[in-house]
Amino acid sequence: MILAGDEIKRLISSGKLSVDPLRSDTIRENGLDLRIGKEYAIYAYEGATIRPCDLAEGEARRHFRIVKDAEEIAIPPRNFVLLTTEEYVKMPEDVVGLANLRSTLARYGLVIPPTVVDAGFEGNITIEVVNESPNTIVLKPGLRFLHLILVRAEGSAKYLGVYLGQRGVTPPKGLRNEC
């Protein structure tokens, strides 16, 4: 069941869902609109060979350049950046978030892969934003970019993965222990 705005407000009022900062335009008809934070990550090198299965948990970071306090974020044509939300979100243990790019940004040629924010997750949300267009697209921190649809889960769960409590943009983990 998708949660409507009034149910989202109830979850926030009860303390089961937390969004910080919470702005007047964050709660929408059927989800949350989250803003671009001031950090982003982009591949540090072009033409490199990346083998996720050969990288230990923290080693993947070396392949990314992290920019802090950005005034603008330029996404090159047919490339991607990792963006983070300005908001720190604490999800209830019985609610899952389905992340979608705002349709206005999709009309410029931007897309995000299917992304689930797990029940019980907390942290800034890092999202891959892909520029499928032939043009460089420049975004600014503070822009509403991510629409998070909240769905009630049957039962409850607590996310305990490595991204729990992440602050700012978080590059991927290495997958050496999973391959």
Output the six-digit token pair for 116.
């689930």
- Token digits for 12? 């926030």
Q: Give CA–CA dist 117/57, Å, rounded.
A: 20
Burial (CB count <10 Å: 0-12, 13-18, 19+), residue 60: middle
Q: Any idea which residue has 């975004």 for tokens?
A: 139
Question: In whole angstroms, what separates CA 96 from the centre of its chain?
Answer: 14
State the catalytic residues. Answer: 128
**In the chain, what's the furthest Cα-to-Cα distance?**
49
Contact 40, 169 (CB under 8 A): yes
Q: What is the residue-wise DSSP string for 123-159?
A: EEEEEEEEE-SSS-EEE-TT-EEEEEEEEEPSS----
